[in-house]
Structure 1
């Protein structure tokens, strides 16, 4: 997955996954789990799936629509015979069936523009998903580094407390020998108690940071959640050699928030084109095949009815031929076979239909105007996105510069404090300073070490965020 490579390369971490319960999580595993389970990422994935469906709908608009229909009814009384069309008193069953196909021949290029819009919408959904994954990955990385900071601070406090315990034993020996006053021993006891309290606070900070990271990953087993112990080297700060304007230019070409805003402008413009399609006439074609069948008995003409005499009703003037009234007998027959009726009673209809818009209460014109307003709104949003990106990059650049200076200052302070601590220890060992002054020197050293740890990881994170703004390929980002 692209985001896994991004974060793994971003912080130079490539660890082997652990399968056992209570495992220690690597940064790579945390990012993987977050991208698979984060609700916001899942929602963005659903948006992409919905965009795929919209694209399928747009393609389907080019296909003809085919619909079949059938009905079977029972009628009693004076009803029409579906095969003869004659009204008669009857109790019968009638079946009718048909299939109709229709296709849009021309509809103002609406189908083409809707397909184009669906493709743009899919690209926008992809950009949105990428942006969401980037944000989640960086958020997880920041939370992960927060845990590392608290863990290293805890280790520093424990190391300092170990030195205090060793100092306590030496001071105890000197007090027993009468070289130092007992007040120095009491001072070291107080220092030890204070350091233990700091260790408890630091342990709580580690636990809180782990719980916060677990909550970000939607992991509920807080008790067994922990991360791999790993120390990061300070990266090269070559990105700070670039001018902010160069970083901004690269970011505008590569950042997903800009690409997404640009896609939204294109979508709004495509909506204008779609709404203008309603100005044009539309032409559609149709074809229908239908048939029918009846369960009614047939009444047909038989032979001469001998029970009724032939009646003369006239004479042909030219020939003198007698005209008589028909006296044929009517014969009732069973209905024809089902299949035969379907063939005998079928029919087709086909044609084209032209619709010309003349007046629709300004609906089309107002729709075009609304979409034109949406285009302007999307253009403003794009402009705002560029301004926000520019502001964020300048802020990130200043933050990276400031964190670099803070890190260098913290290193210098630590070097000075280590020298001051060594000097204080030498003086304390020969009795030239008391335990209180020595404890204060050790406290300042511990505080400086903690500040260096925080400055280091803050510098790492700010630097990598700036590199991503610059468009450095994830595979090329090293610590």
Structure 2
């Protein structure tokens, strides 16, 4: 069956817009815009909520990477305490009771650094770096999705606008025919039923034109909402000078498949997922190995009533400490072994996910290739049908004009022409859309 452009855009629109908030760019409120496809795609890449959410995730990954690198550095902390105490004291000389204050304080600096922990820190840094790269690829993947959605919505509006042109011309022709038939009826050269049949056809053509105009408004709204533009914004698209259906040969499927598998971000992201999971195995294995840390501290303090000045106490009580600590795991009640085995399972799952991604992508590219072939064949047939139907309709119109055509036969020929015209327009944009999608998987940017 031929691909229906509106069916495709409806699916992707519900998929994308349904999960987005209705955030709006306040700088565009109240404006009147008319954009081409390139501008729509550029705006969507910058303002799409899902893409911007992924950009925030990328920033989080970047911070986690910087934190992992900082684990190599020693820490440094300062401590200080100051105590004020009041109490009653007894004097041995006169057995008198005296009250007084006691003031004391202690101060210190300490630092620790990890010297060896089974390469956990190095593996963690490498893993976090891959996660940053994965976040960047996720952004590209989402941008690719939004490009296809915008392109499909944009071409749908172009299809609607071209249908309006055809239907406007069709209505104008019918109005002229009704006017001529009315003149003939007035002089008694045609029957009333012939006039009424043409008037009914005029009403039908008017209804068809109104539906085409409504489709333009509805599909423009779909594109506007997909772009998440302000509701009170006047929005329209720019129609290219020419919209031609593809006639050149299409690249072979194996070539397109190979290009997609080598360059698409979802595949690269899957490959990174396997590497990231492998680092979890290496990090878990660090639990089997000893940990060596070094530490140093500086401390001092004082207390009043010692008969020694504050400065001398601080100097006399000042001491330094330097040491190393070695921790060797001997029995961990299977905690480390479980962590390692679970990490290995995650590696296998990542490999399966990558395999599934490649299979899905290959199937998608193959489907896109088949769609192009089908759409091209359909367009060729529709163009041929439209060519002859148009000529037959022209002849029937001339015959009606000179009064030698039967009204019923004319209307039958006109209906055949209208059907051929609709099929031709649909086939043209369907062929263009399928080719753009197929080329996009081949790494060719979408342009009109």
The alignment's TM-score, normalised by the length of structure 1, stands at 0.81
Counterpart of 1:95 in structure 2 is: 105
Counterpart of 2:282 in structure 1 is: 273
| Distance across 2 between alignment mates of 1:262 and 1:469 | 18
Between 461-470 and 111-120, report the one with greater CA deviation: 461-470
Counterpart of 2:254 in structure 1 is: 245
Query: Compared with structure 1, are the counterparts of its residues 39 and 360 closer, same or farther at alpha carbon in structure 2 (3 Å cutoff)?
Result: same
| Offset at residue 38 of structure 1 (A) | 1.5
Counterpart of 1:318 in structure 2 is: none
2:31/2:233 contact within 8 Å kept: no
**Aligned pair 1:200/2:173, yes or no?**
no
Counterpart of 1:336 in structure 2 is: 309
Aligned counterpart in structure 2 of residue 289 of structure 1, from 298, 301, 305: 298
| Offset at residue 232 of structure 1 (A) | 4.0
| Offset at residue 273 of structure 1 (A) | 0.7
Aligned length: 413
Aligned counterpart in structure 1 of residue 57 of structure 2, from 24, 33, 47: 47
Query: Compared with structure 1, are the counterparts of its residues 251 and 78 closer, same or farther at alpha carbon in structure 2 (3 Å cutoff)?
Result: farther
| Offset at residue 199 of structure 1 (A) | 1.6
Counterpart of 1:259 in structure 2 is: 268
| Offset at residue 344 of structure 1 (A) | 3.1
Counterpart of 2:425 in structure 1 is: 453
**Aligned pair 1:64/2:74, yes or no?**
yes
Q: Deviations over 1:433-457 (max 9, x none)?
A: 2233323322332332222222111
| Distance across 2 between alignment mates of 1:220 and 1:112 | 48
Counterpart of 1:311 in structure 2 is: none
**Aligned pair 1:361/2:333, yes or no?**
yes
| Offset at residue 40 of structure 1 (A) | 0.9
Q: Deviations over 1:401-436 (max 9, x none)?
A: 111111111111110111110221232223232233
Counterpart of 2:19 in structure 1 is: none
| Distance across 2 between alignment mates of 1:448 and 1:231 | 24
| Offset at residue 30 of structure 1 (A) | 1.6
| Distance across 1 between alignment mates of 2:137 and 2:245 | 29
| Offset at residue 19 of structure 1 (A) | 11
Counterpart of 1:426 in structure 2 is: 398
| Distance across 2 between alignment mates of 1:211 and 1:462 | 23
**Aligned pair 1:298/2:306, yes or no?**
yes
| Distance across 1 between alignment mates of 2:29 and 2:325 | 67
| Distance across 1 between alignment mates of 2:329 and 2:100 | 48
Alignment RMSD (CA, Å) = 2.3
Between 218-227 and 343-352, report the one with greater CA deviation: 218-227
2:137/2:269 contact within 8 Å kept: yes
Q: Deviations over 1:82-106 (max 9, x none)?
A: xxxxxxx963122211111111111
The alignment partner of 1:68 has SS state of strand
1:237/1:463 contact within 8 Å kept: no
2:29/2:233 contact within 8 Å kept: no
Counterpart of 1:83 in structure 2 is: none
| Offset at residue 367 of structure 1 (A) | 0.3
Aligned pairs (5 A) from 1:45-194: 45-77=55-87, 91-194=101-204
Query: Compared with structure 1, are the counterparts of its residues 222 and 282 closer, same or farther at alpha carbon in structure 2 (3 Å cutoff)?
Result: same
Counterpart of 2:439 in structure 1 is: 467
| Distance across 1 between alignment mates of 2:155 and 2:248 | 22
1:188/1:436 contact within 8 Å kept: no
| Distance across 1 between alignment mates of 2:258 and 2:275 | 21
Query: Compared with structure 1, are the counterparts of its residues 251 and 238 closer, same or farther at alpha carbon in structure 2 (3 Å cutoff)?
Result: farther
| Offset at residue 29 of structure 1 (A) | 2.2
| Offset at residue 336 of structure 1 (A) | 1.7
Between 168-177 and 144-153, report the one with greater CA deviation: 168-177
| Offset at residue 239 of structure 1 (A) | 5.7
Between 396-405 and 27-36, report the one with greater CA deviation: 27-36
Larger Rg: 1
2:246/2:435 contact within 8 Å kept: no
**Aligned pair 1:371/2:343, yes or no?**
yes
Aligned counterpart in structure 1 of residue 356 of structure 2, from 384, 406, 416: 384
| Distance across 2 between alignment mates of 1:54 and 1:202 | 53
| Offset at residue 348 of structure 1 (A) | 0.9
| Distance across 2 between alignment mates of 1:163 and 1:235 | 27
The alignment partner of 1:388 has SS state of helix
The alignment's TM-score, normalised by the length of structure 2, stands at 0.87
2:117/2:289 contact within 8 Å kept: yes
| Offset at residue 174 of structure 1 (A) | 2.2
Between 432-441 and 154-163, report the one with greater CA deviation: 432-441
Q: Which runs of 5+ in 2 are unaligned?
A: 1-27, 90-98
| Distance across 2 between alignment mates of 1:126 and 1:223 | 32
Q: Which runs of 5+ in 1 are unaligned?
A: 1-17, 80-88, 300-334
| Offset at residue 171 of structure 1 (A) | 1.6
